[in-house]
Amino acid sequence: MFKYLKLFIIALAGIIAAFFITVIFSNSNNNTTVLSLDKDLYTKLTQEKFSISIPDEKTTQSIITVKYRPLVWGIVEADFNDFKTKVKETLNDTRGWKRAGLQFIEVENGADVDIILSDPASLGATPGCSSELSCTTWSNQVIINDLRWREGTEASRSANMSTRDYQHMVINHEMGHWLGHHQHETSCPNGGPAPIMLQQSTGMRGCDSFNAWPLDWELWTNKK
Ligand SMILES: [Zn+2]
């Protein structure tokens, strides 16, 4: 009798051990799958940047479509049609976010994000924004300051950045926020051109040169 009980206990222990080993291995596999496929979740879990590696052959291949709608707020001095043309040029430039596998399409309805040319007062009245600079909100609004759009900032002018390059820079910087770059880069430890997500409008923080385009290591997004 005791012999059978002993055998039964050994068999039961074996089954339980096999069950736990299966659970442990299947969990580790699941984790690997989640982390490699769900970049958004990965970013949230780690609170770190998720870099998409872009093979050379994909640099001009668009894989994520962003629909944007140009709008105007208040009374602006810049020409709105010119603004729309320049926004389109910047977003579709091969030096820009396109390199992260994005393509941008202008739409009138059903936009993912609005790109708004705003007078400084309307911008200043928007929560979280100031009338001094441009701004991106959690309501999918990239808001460009009409005054800065036409004149740049003191920092951009003293760095001899052309108005057109400033316009490229401000569109790329604010679009970068919308694409998931919520934090600013704050320094240039090795010199070189400024990252697009550094606030070049207010100073260079050790960077050698003004730069209107995302650097290679900034080419990531949490959009799908
Ligand atoms: Zn910013």
Same domain for 201 and 117: yes
In the prediction, which pLDDT does 193 show?
94
CA distance 164 to 196: 15
Same domain for 89 and 127: yes
Output 189 or 173, whichever has higher pLDDT.
173
In the prediction, which pLDDT does 23 show?
40
Q: What is the DSSP letter of 193?
A: B
For residue 138, report the distance from its CA to the centre of ligand 1, in Å. Answer: 13
The chain-wide mean pLDDT, for the chain, equals: 80
Q: Positive or negative, the Cα torsion across 174, 177, 183, 188?
A: negative
In the prediction, which pLDDT does 155 show?
85
The dihedral region occupied by 130, where left means phi > 0, alpha psi between -120 and 50, and beta the remainder, is beta
Span between the terminal Cα atoms of the chain, in Å: 64
Q: Is residue 104 part of a domain?
A: yes
Q: Is residue 78 part of a domain?
A: yes
Same domain for 156 and 110: yes
pLDDT digits (tens, 9 = 90+) for 15-60: 555 544 444 434 433 332 233 333 333 333 333 333 444 444 444 4
For residue 174, report the distance from its CA to the centre of ligand 1, in Å. Answer: 6
Same domain for 111 and 17: no
In the prediction, which pLDDT does 28 show?
37
Same domain for 205 and 129: yes
Output 126 or 27, whichever has higher pLDDT.
126
For residue 203, report the distance from its CA to the centre of ligand 1, in Å. Answer: 12
Q: What percentage of residues in the chain have a pLDDT greater than 90?
A: 59
In the prediction, which pLDDT does 8 show?
52
For residue 173, report the distance from its CA to the centre of ligand 1, in Å. Answer: 6
What strand order describes the sheet that includes 102-106?
Answer: 102-106, 64-73, 113-118, 141-145, 135-137
For residue 139, report the distance from its CA to the centre of ligand 1, in Å. Answer: 15
Same domain for 72 and 182: yes
In the prediction, which pLDDT does 11 show?
58
CA distance 82 to 4: 89
Q: Is residue 200 part of a domain?
A: yes
In the prediction, which pLDDT does 15 show?
55
Same domain for 173 and 118: yes
Domain around 31: 2-37
Q: Is residue 50 part of a domain?
A: no
Look at the chain and report how many structural domains it folds into. 2
Q: Is residue 138 part of a domain?
A: yes
Element (H, E) at 147: helix 146-151
